[in-house]
Amino acid sequence: MKIVVIGGTGLIGSKTVAILRQGGHEVVAASPQSGVNTITGEGLKEVMAGTQVVIDLANSPSFEDEAVMEFFETSGRKLLAAEVAAGVGHHVALSIVAIDRTDNGYFRAKVAQERLIVASLIPYTIIRATQFLEFLGGIAASSADGNIVRLPPCLFQPIAADDVAAIVAEVAAAAPRNGIIEIAGPERAPFNEIIARYLKALGDPREVVCDPEARYWGGRVEERSLVPLGEARLGRIGFDEWFRRSQARA
């Protein structure tokens, strides 16, 4: 099968490309560097020729509210139009658990991306994942106030990028579901406990506190604002195994 991975050089994209190639598929790792740009439209028509499946794993270079909305709307429109023109049979996109019940600028942009997919009439599967374990350092940095890391009192269930890529590859090789599936890590715990565990494992002396006034990317969150409410497929890699692998790779 010819599969185009948009954002094929990114964290999830590069892992997904490797798994699909091992599975014997013809895979294009598409990104601006390889001449495929979903914002300018460059290379889209050419790369879609003979493509059965497109996996959208692109991400906005800026996470500022307006920039991220502009990115996912423009990218989604141009990509889906090229897929319609080429007769692509399955569009797979990676989205985020709870984007439609938890408010922040990035989540609003992902809602816009999902709406374009559903309206496009291309057979699709949207995979909503919880936050990646690889994102823990970024969360700690963005929540730091000097030596204190302030986090809201909510549950967290992060998933390893290796698990995400394995599930994305499996979904892409299967029939479209025309719906959403949710995936999450195998361990659910209070947000502050997971970040404290991460900082402790790194030997980072910053103190983590649970603060009801703390925001998540500028938005208010409640106990279950970031975790799946219904059935979710769970990854296999827990925190300890993920940390061991990430240190071995470093």
Ligand X SMILES: NC(=O)c1ccc[n+]([C@@H]2O[C@H](COP(=O)([O-])OP(=O)(O)OC[C@H]3O[C@@H](n4cnc5c(N)ncnc54)[C@H](OP(=O)(O)O)[C@@H]3O)[C@@H](O)[C@H]2O)c1
Minimum distance from CB of 6 to ligand X (Å)?
5
User: Site for ligand X (CB under 6 A): which residue of 1, 9, 41, 81?
Assistant: 9
Size of the site for ligand X (CB under 6 A): 26
Look-up of token digits 């942009």: 109
Cβ 164 to ligand X, closest distance in Å? 7
Binding span for ligand X by CB under 6 A among 126-134, 199-207, 214-222, 236-244 = 126-134
Decide if residue 94 touches ligand X (CB under 6 A).
yes
- Contact call for residue 225 and ligand X (CB under 6 A): no
Considering the rule CB under 6 A, would residue 10 count as an interface residue with ligand X? yes
Q: Which of 225, 234, 217 is nearest to 109 (CA)?
A: 217
Rounded CA gap, 102 and 250, in Å?
33
The region of 130-138, 166-174, 190-198, 217-225 touching ligand X under the rule CB under 6 A is 130-138
d(C-alpha 243, C-alpha 249), whole Å: 10
**Assigned token pair, 6:** 């948009």
> Distances from the Cα of 241 to the Cαs of 74, 164, 184, 250, in angstroms?
38, 15, 15, 14
β-pairing, 189-190 vs 148-151, is: unpaired
CA 220 to chain centre: 21
Q: Which residues bind ligand X (CB under 6 A)?
A: 6-7, 9-13, 31-33, 36-39, 57-59, 61, 75, 94, 96, 110, 129, 131-132, 135
